[in-house]
Amino acid sequence: MIEITHLFSALGDPTRFAIVTKLLRDGAQPAGQLQSVAEMSAPAISRHLKILRDAGLVHQRVAGQSRIYSVVPAAVQAIHGWTMDHETFWTGSLERLEAALEEHDKS
């Protein structure tokens, strides 16, 4: 179960936001490649990755010697769903209003 507040608190750190952005842009990556997002030691990056995993944002897969990280699609969808803005609401609603009015006209 993904909690939106956990996603946001995990993303509310520039390094973690950069890690997730890189994973979204470039696809799955081994931890070593993620070090380029910040001037940080490998252990520091892996602490950030642990927080991202605990929040349900990032998935870890073991492939031989390396650990491959990727973004959990459901987490991004949860964020997307949460951001229903005014325009999304009204565009969708007014389409339905128009349909309801037409149905009303026929009856």
Decide if 18 contacts 36 (C-beta within 8 A): no
Q: How far is the CB of 51 from other proteins (least distance, A)?
A: 17
Residue 66 CB contacts under 8 Å (≥ 6 apart), including other chains = 30, 31, 32
Q: Which of 28, 42, 44, 100 binds other proteins (CB under 8 A)?
A: 100
**Count of residues touching other proteins (by CB under 8 A):** 41
Q: Is 34 in the site for other proteins (CB under 8 A)?
A: no
Q: What phi and psi values does residue 55 have, to the nearest 5 degrees? A: -80, -10
CB-wise, 24 or 28, nearer to other proteins? 24
d(CA 92, CA 78): 19
Q: Is 107 in the site for other proteins (CB under 8 A)?
A: no
Q: Is 106 in the site for other proteins (CB under 8 A)?
A: no
d(CA 15, CA 92): 36
Query: What is the identity of the amino acid at 49?
Result: L
Q: Is 88 in the site for other proteins (CB under 8 A)?
A: yes
Which residues would be at the binding site for other proteins (CB under 8 A)? 3-5, 8, 11, 17, 20-21, 24-25, 71, 73, 76-102, 104-105
